[in-house]
Amino acid sequence: MALQSLDIERRSATTTQPPDQRQALKVAKLIDISKCIGCKACQSACMEWNDLRDMVGTSDGTYDNPRDLTENSWTVMKFFEVEPDGKLEWLIRKDGCMHCADPGCLKACPSPGAIVQYSNGIVDFHEENCIGCGYCVTGCPFNVPRISKKDSKAYKCTLCSDRVAVGLEPACIKTCPTGALVFGSKEDMKEHAAERIADLKERGYQNAGLYDPPGVGGTHVMYVLQHADRPELYALPKDPKISPWVSVWKGAAKPLALAALGLAALVGFFHYIKVGPNEVEEDEKEGK
């Protein structure tokens, strides 16, 4: 959003530093799964604030509704019935963009300014610059961006960058009735998480912990998990990082390939200057 144009830490397909003079406080959303009751108020608030309405879908026999993230549903409650220690637990995870410190979507994006990372940590899509190539989908370690079937642009949670820019908390936070969702500086959120984790451990969740995966530089959406040793129970990747295929493609390959092509043309030119053209000589033309 234009309001934060001075606070851009990274900008897709841009090799120089975007305007980054002001240093904003790093923010984070903390999702305490142990407090979530699965009411989906956050989903409704997200739809309302962002003025999005998803299609009526079909039920697959679970509470997941819609079943997955879509271009209109930027956050979705995912319900997991698991028996991690031999007793049934109902784990409810609010799925959506994790706002990685090292965002794979931004790394993969070929269109300048279609994806930006504000210095407060929020990763935002600017759809007017999106070309619909789907590279962000390829780059994302969390399977979050969705390409719209209507306009072929990519959409995902903005962490309500428009609200945060004017000092408000994201819509989902505002509406959460149990305090499972909290928002503030990343540091404060980590402290709050530590208290919650201590509490959970006291209550028998020995493996309670914070999900702030270092493989993507940490995230600006973090989870308090009852079973932090087994994030797969919540369908979270254990050690998410940008895929090595994407890293090579958008890392070394990019400048090296371009340099090699330029060099090849240059070598050709200087070869011509050195040895000259390969011509048929006059006497060869005469024939033998």
Binding site for other proteins (CB under 8 A): 13-15, 110-112, 129, 131-135, 137-138, 143, 147, 149, 152, 243, 245-246, 248-249, 253-255, 257-258, 260-261, 264-265, 268, 271-272, 275-280, 284-288
Rounded least distance, CB 105 to other proteins, Å: 13
**Is-contact 85 70, C-beta < 8 A?**
no
**Residue 87 vs 149, nearer CB to other proteins:** 149
**Residue 6 vs 264, nearer CB to other proteins:** 264
**Residue 167 vs 287, nearer CB to other proteins:** 287
Rounded least distance, CB 274 to other proteins, Å: 9
As a dihedral over the C-alpha atoms of residue 207, residue 222, residue 213, residue 198, rounded to 10 degrees, the angle is -30
**Is-contact 33 170, C-beta < 8 A?**
no
Residue 20, class by beta-carbon neighbours within 10 Å (0-12 exposed, 13-18 middle, 19+ buried)?
middle
Rounded least distance, CB 30 to other proteins, Å: 28
Rounded least distance, CB 146 to other proteins, Å: 10
Rounded least distance, CB 151 to other proteins, Å: 9
What are the E-state strand segments in 61-120?
Answer: 75-82, 89-96, 115-118
At 8, give phi and psi (nearest 5°). Answer: -100, 115
At 176, give phi and psi (nearest 5°). Answer: -60, 120
**Residue 66 vs 132, nearer CB to other proteins:** 132
Rounded least distance, CB 122 to other proteins, Å: 22
**Residue 144 vs 222, nearer CB to other proteins:** 144
**Residue 174 vs 241, nearer CB to other proteins:** 241
At 259, give phi and psi (nearest 5°). Answer: -65, -40
Tell me the sheet residues that pair with 207: none
**Is-contact 250 103, C-beta < 8 A?**
no
